[in-house]
């Protein structure tokens, strides 16, 4: 899994660099040439959607999302395990719904052969960020839950 994490990190870095370069080029073009590139907003918005999902998945694995640690840390290990399981199930339901509707959206975009307005690319390629991101988040949230479960189990043994 560490290779997948590194791949995700590299994808994030590359997408962020592309967004920065494109945005900077567009700003310079507007300043120096008094015209802008038509595709920059479209491309940066779609890349940002991929970045959000990949970043959310990486944070999920590291248990980096906001939580109620103040309350859960006061609970005994058995209750914390139940809370980890409950939260993971609720999050999975949310991302399964997002995955379902994301797949429907991509199928519809593919069926109607929708194109992006500025670049004329198939819209379904950009739309893949939703179902792929949701699937990645489900996987990473459960991976994070397993890591948290093991951590709680080790704390229970040490006490």
Q: Say whether pLDDT at 123 is over 80.
A: yes
pTM above 0.85, yes or no: yes
Give Cβ neighbours of residue 158 (< 8 Å, ≥ 6 apart): none
Cα 54–60–66 angle (5° rounding)? 115
* Residue 26 reports pLDDT greater than 90: yes
Write down the pLDDT at residue 10.
96
CB within 8 Å of 145: residues ≥ 6 apart: 84, 85, 87, 88
Angle between helices 129-158 and 77-111 (to 10 degrees): 170
Q: With CA atoms as reference, report the closest residue to 81 among 138, 141, 137, 151.
A: 151
What pLDDT is stored for residue 105 in this prediction? 97
Q: What's the rounded mean pLDDT across residues 115-141? A: 94
Mean pLDDT for 34-47 is 91
SS percent in the chain: helix, strand, coil, step 5:
80, 0, 20
Reply yes or no on whether the pLDDT at 159 is more than 70.
Answer: no
Q: List the Cα angle 80/82/87 in 5-degree steps.
A: 95
Q: Could you tell me the residue ranges of all domains in the chain?
A: 2-158
- What are the phi and psi torsion angles at 68 (to 5°)? -110, 60
Among 3-17, 53-67, 90-104, 121-135, name the one with the lowest average pLDDT. 53-67
What's the mean pLDDT in 31-55?
A: 93
Q: Are 70 and 152 within 8 A, CB to CB?
A: no
More confident residue, 22 or 158: 22
Does 73 have pLDDT greater than 90? no
Q: Is the pLDDT of residue 125 over 80?
A: yes
Contacts of 86 (CB under 8 A, 6+ apart): none
Write down the pLDDT at residue 141: 92
* pLDDT bucket at 75, cuts 50 / 70 / 90: confident
Q: Which of 1, 46, 44, 2 is nearest to 23 (CA)?
A: 44
Q: What is the pLDDT of residues 132-146, one digit of tens each?
A: 999 999 999 999 999
- For residue 36, what is the DSSP state? -
Question: pLDDT, tens digit, for every residue of 77-109?
Answer: 999 999 999 999 999 999 999 999 999 999 999
């Amino acid at each position: 899994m560490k290779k997948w994490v590194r791949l995700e990190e590299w994808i994030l870095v590359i997408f962020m660099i592309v967004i920065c370069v494109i945005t900077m080029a567009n700003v310079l073009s507007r300043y120096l040439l008094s015209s802008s590139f038509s595709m920059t907003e479209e491309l940066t918005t779609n890349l940002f959607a991929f970045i959000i999902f990949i970043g959310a998945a990486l944070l999920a694995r590291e248990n980096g999302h906001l939580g109620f640690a103040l309350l859960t840390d006061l609970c005994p290990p058995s209750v914390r395990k139940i809370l980890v399981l409950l939260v993971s199930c609720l999050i999975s339901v949310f991302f399964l719904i997002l995955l379902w509707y994301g797949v429907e959206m991509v199928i519809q975009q593919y069926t109607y052969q929708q194109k992006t307005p500025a670049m004329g690319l198939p819209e379904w390629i950009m739309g893949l960020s939703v179902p792929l991101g949701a699937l990645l988040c489900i996987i990473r949230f459960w991976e994070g839950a397993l890591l948290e479960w093991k951590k709680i189990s080790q704390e229970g043994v040490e006490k």
